[in-house]
Structure 1
Amino acid sequence: MNPRLSALRISLLYLVLATVWMLASDHWLQMAIADPAQTLRWMTAKKYLFVAGSAMLLFVLLHRQFRHQQATISSLSDREKRLSRALNVVEDGIWDWDLRTHRVYYSPGYASLIGLPGDRLSDDFLLWENRLHPEDHDTALAAYQDHIDGLSEQLDCVYRIRHGDGSYRWVHARGRVERDVDGTALRMTGVSRDITRQRSNEDHLRQAAAVFEATQEGLLVTDSRGVIVHTNPSFSRITGYDARDVLGLQPSILKSGRQDAAFYRRMWETLQNEDVWSGEIWNRRKSGEVYPQWQHIRAVRNDQGELTHYVAVFSDLSSLKRSQHELDFLAHHDPLTALPNRLLLRERIEQALARAEREQGGGALLVIDLDHFKHINDSLGHSTGDLLIKAVAERLQGCLDERCSLARLGGDEFAVILESPQQQHASSLAQRLLETMNAPFMVNGQTIYMSVSLGVSLFPEDARNVDHLMQHADAALFQAKASGRSLYAFYTPELTARARSHVQVEAALRHALDNDELRIYFQPVHDLASGRMVGVESLVRWQHPQRGLVPPCDFIPVAEECGLITALDAWMLDQACRQMRSWLDAGIDLDYIAVNVSSRLFSRGGLEQRVALALEQAGLEPHHLELEITESAVMQNFDQALELLCQLRLLGVHLAIDDFGTGYSSLMRLKRMPVHKLKIDQGFVAGLPDESEDAAIACAVIGLGQSMGLQVVAEGVERPDQAAFLLTHACDFGQGYWYGAPQPADVLLPKLPRHRA
């Protein structure tokens, strides 16, 4: 009802009634009263009566209106208080956005939602927009605009908004637009709810569900009565049962029968008392296969502590059990031959020693090493070498009886434990093993001849514990190899002393390298025709602080065996280049300085870079350096050696083949090598001129060198008749004690030739 219209109607009604009253009452009084004076009095009374009646009527109307208004105001006040209390209680944020003015009302709950005090809340729309997460800004505004444009029935969107503490909270906003009769959007009212915790819980639930479905462990959920209500895919993969096969059934369908009733009784007692049980259990797959699994069962209770479910997580231990067996086998056996390895051998030796002590018996440990096996690997490849190792293992195994146990120690080394009190049994077994290796092996269509060397240590005579027994067998093996290979040798105390000396020399030699105890001696090389000194050969010596000057034969073999020879060679190369540079700067007239290169350094790789670096650091021209390489080192891997020799030749250094005639090179290969000199081994020079064989070899080497355009150097010239013979047969150079013993640089200096002024 329109208040203005109602007031107008009442006023008009009152006007009409008042007019009718005045006209009608005046006419009635004139008709009823004849006396004019009396009529005038009544007309005056009528006026006052009309005013009183009007006042009474106005009072009644106003009273009713004020009472109604008061009741309405009171009702609105109550409703406003209730709404205010409701808004204060509700954690959701309520907002009312005036789309015409872009002013927004935010409830106290909204202030709490975004973490702002009430005095910082404004009615500006930007208060909300500026707090939107950058990644959600455009999406949220688009959702609001779509609803304003009528593209969506209501606003329903999720976004992140910055909280007062600086973090972002997830908010779920819902709202609806109010429009006028023309459809124009006037305002939008809605509610926003903080769903950060809910979203986090949902994320956790999704993750848990993903884990449940994707985990490799089987999962089984039952209700409180033990009825299966859920399984995951891994349950089906492990057990073979589909979910529809087991839902509604008891987990007892998986029992294998390997555990008795007492086992399950203890399991349920633990579950009831502790709400959790873990252990290994044997179950049966759908196929009937019995398998081990590790199972973890947990009771699930609600907030009131009432049991609701059981959750079982289990993993198949079949592969683990197999892996454990395989690892145990690999830990005690050689993977190539499947023979016992060093670890299992030690256990069996300990058992044999214990039996020998308990039964007053004895036995022997035989250590077997393949002779020159490295040549097989280098020439035919490691795959062929592995096949040969397997063939050797099979042949050795065929020679043994029940008293013996064969093991592979690694590489090309085997061992046999023989339990027999008779020493001759050990020697006969060793001889049998040597003989059985005489027959050739057929590997990859190739015929390979292989021999072995054996070291034998007896127990309890030689040792009463594993370590000593194996050390003594190794010492005996070393003696067998040193005696010519394809032999066997028994342990003697002298072998141990020699081995200890070897270790001591190795340690002292390492100390010598670190403490500058090595020295270089130089032996002159003379031109046989002119007698002029043309060069020197560098030789290493060891100046021991207690033992004095140690001869090379006492430490060079040790250095070669332990790998120190490479460091010695590198040190010699650097020192020789510096010494030659120093002599040249002092006016010494020498053509070259020679340095021996060991077979280990030659085959190691990177020699050309090492030589170039030594020359560069010393400032020495390459033609003043001569590298002496043994014939055997070149022939170990000829193609690789030829490539290295070419690289060294391009570098500009001179090359000499040392100990020529002691190796097994062919003339076809020799002519391809880019070398400058051949050095006749001193073993062939020692018999000159009387020994016809030495003379023939020396003449042949000299003739070969001349025909190939190579210079020839004879080593070990100690007498004038040797020098004369070599000169007569056109040998170019001589080196030996006849011309001078190896000497330190300061001693040799006065004898060195100098440039003429």
Structure 2
Amino acid sequence: MTHAWEGLIEGMLEAVLLVEPVQLTVVAANRAAHKILGVPSHSLPGRSVIDLAAAPEDMFFWEDVAAGLSNNIYSETLLRRADGQAIHVMRRVSLVRFDNASSMYVVAIRDHTDQRQVENELEKLISELRATLESTADGILVTDLDGSIRSYNHLFAKLWGLPEELLTSRNDNAVYAWMDNCMVDASHYNERLAQIRRSPLMEASDVLVLHSGKVLERVTLPQYARGRPIGRVYSFRDISQKLADQARLQLASKVFEASTDAIFITDEQQHIITTNPSFERLTQFSEVEMIGLSISDFFLGHGNAEILKRMLDELELDGFWEGELWNRRRDGHAYLCMISLVRVQNENGQTLHTIGFFKDRTENYQAKQKIEELAFTDALTGLPNRMLLEERISQSITHASRDQSQFALLFLDLDNFKQINDSLGHPFGDRVLVDVTERLKKCLRQVDTAARLGGDEFVLLLHQADAAGAEICARRVLADLSAPFNLDGIEFTVTCSIGIALYPEDGTEMLDLIKNADSAMYYVKAV
């Protein structure tokens, strides 16, 4: 009978064992059974089926089978191969009775290893997805369309270092103010935030640099309900660590390349490893030319040694530095740049990179200089006006008082200048005043000051001059102005009256000195 069964089971695709029900020994096994267990052909008959079990509970299983508790059992179990490897199988044990009252267990086995591996992988993926959803790797901030905060997670609070009092109270303005104070370039940050809020459907990605040295990537997406925007979701990710990886720099290249600020990144030794296109447009130096240069190499020129030392010291101490300094483009032209340097560290406090942001502030500086020039100089002649004159007189009083020295004020008024304006016109008179200014400048030393108070009144401030020095200067002015003027073919002469006041003889206060010099001038004019 057994030989007949052997022929039958040999044609089956499944692994099949025939097991004697009393001793639980294998009486026959097909090729598939030998293959799945990794044993030589014809080696299974005579072996105890319990020897093939890989789990202790399988022994109790076969005891239940031997006890006849079930005639048909379908279960999952482990079998041990000849090489010691345990494999997952699905097993069906069926009791088959013969006419002669004998019986035999037919054990059909199907390898379940691949399916179990797929199931394990699926369980792992589901577990990872659940963990990702329950605990995102990004800091999340959710607002409505007006910017009011609806919620944020703990990682958001950790990234921005929100203090405990902001976590326990609802104060949107305080949270936003805290974020502003964390930013290296708060003005640009707020401009960008306002732009995003004005566009409810806008999707944006930005890089934020914090005073703490963190570099955050911010991605913002609109939040929809029933197809309409109802708010905005901001996700923040700390990319400080990833800046150490060139691949991460490439991922951030869109922001890096498109920035209007000139940007350079250094290694831990502060040697430049990359620059963006705005850097080359501003400095005229290509990235290839800059690679390997240190921050000191780039900014050392134009008398920056002292400020550069302070910059690097503060960067080392505080992790960031902001300020202005002059530098030169490749063609030699000087420009004023506003610089922000941020040190990027790893979790152990070791420096990975230094990121430099800077922009050309030359136009702003020139505009400021122009405003100051208009505020402190006479628009027609370019001479200091009354405000600047008073400032310099005040300085002269301070120095003369400290050094026990003297100085002189000469109050000068052109004689009969009104007749020139009345007869030849004010434009012609203005040209005369400009020519008078040039002659006055030639009569003074470099340390002296000539100022125009208005109309045809001028004041000369002579540093460290006594009465004799003041008289010499006054005579020189009278002589130079008495020389003929020639404008548009018209030749004429200009005379003037000069009053002199000496410090400290004629006063120790600025107003007294100007008043006394003015009085002396009118006395001369009346004589």
- Say whether the fold is shared (TM-score over 0.5): no
More strand, by proportion: 2
More helix, by proportion: 1
Q: For the pair shown, which has the larger CA radius of gyration, 1 or 2?
A: 1
With the length of structure 1 as denominator, give the TM-score of the two structures. 0.31
Larger RCO (CA under 8 A, 6+ residues apart): 2
